[in-house]
Amino acid sequence: MKILVCISVVPDTTTKVKFIDGKEFDKAGVQWIINPWDELALTRALELKEASAGKIEKITVVNVGAVEAEATIRKALAMGADEAIRINTTAKDTFSVAGEISEAIKDQGFDVIFSGIESSDFNGVGVGGMIAEILDIQSVSAVSGIDFADDVFKVKRDIDGGFEMLEVKAPFVATVQKGIAIDPRIPNMRGIMMAKKKPLNVVESANCEPLSEYVQYEMPKPKPPVKLVENAAELVNVLHNEAKML
């Protein structure tokens, strides 16, 4: 069995975002990280492999990005992924990213493809579901737990207002969220050393065209300062009479 984990490289969560003329994200001084959900997905994939007594042979990570992404991709290898694929182009929109990944991996026979439920930059949620549709395989979304035993995957998915435990047959895409793992695995020294020797294959882009373009960024308008009140009675009074919210 082989597992693929889609990795997007995003600005550190504490980044104060800026744009150049409202047209382009200003990368100056930005720290890049593995998208938090993708990191959890990879963590769980590694745990599954370790517990599978050899049944899950390989964990591959894939990223659509320019050469700058490689430092972050190496971190995924340091965490324990066996190999990496970088598709050499910049991510344009969700559809083009999903198209690039599908094209690059369609003949590689991955049994499970993990993707994060959202990437914390553009907050697109579609990559996993789109890959599944393009490859014509099953997909399960909002996955907050996954186990592998007796050749079946038991998948926990959050439904709106509860959860379901599912049995899912490979191949499928799992779009994962929190709960799949709690804390991301931290690479150790040995992992970091080994990562340098692991394969990071660069694949040329299939030139998947985007369907949308980002034309103008805007920062939120500064909001008026907080109105402080003294006690609960006053708070209810302003919420009711001034804000008309209660």
Strands 2-6 and 58-64 turn out to be parallel
Q: What are the CA-CA distances from residue 191 to residues 59, 76, 176, 229 (Å)?
A: 14, 10, 24, 53
* One-letter amino acid for residue 157 of the chain: R
Burial (CB count <10 Å: 0-12, 13-18, 19+), residue 45: buried
**In the complex, minimum distance from the CB of residue 33 to ligand FAD, in angstroms, rounded to a whole number:** 7
Number of residues that bind ligand FAD (CB under 6 A): 2
Matching residue, tokens 């963590």: 43
Stretch that binds another protein, among 54-62, 68-76, 175-183, 197-205 (CB under 8 A): 175-183
| 154 versus 198: smaller Cβ distance to another protein | 154
Nearer to another protein, 193 or 229 (CB): 229
What's the CA gap between 53 and 46, in Å, rounded?
A: 12
DSSP state of 208: P
Token pair for residue 49?
Answer: 């492999």
Q: Does 36 bind ligand FAD (CB under 6 A)?
A: yes
Min CB(41)–ligand FAD separation in Å: 14
Q: Which of 52, 129, 147, 206 binds another protein (CB under 8 A)?
A: 129
Residue 246 binds which entry of ligand FAD, another protein, none, with Cβ cut-offs from 5 to 8 Å by kind?
another protein
Distance CA 69, CA 85 (A): 11
Residue 115 or 200 with smaller CB distance to another protein? 115
End-to-end CA distance of the chain: 55
If one asks whether residue 13 binds ligand FAD (CB under 6 A), the answer comes out as: yes
Please give the residue whose beta carbon sits closest to ligand FAD in the complex. Answer: 13
- In the complex with ligand FAD, the residue whose CB is nearer, 36 or 126, is 36
Which option in another protein, ligand FAD, none does residue 138 bind, with CB closer than 5 to 8 A by kind?
another protein
Chain residues that interact with ligand FAD, rule: CB under 6 A? 13, 36
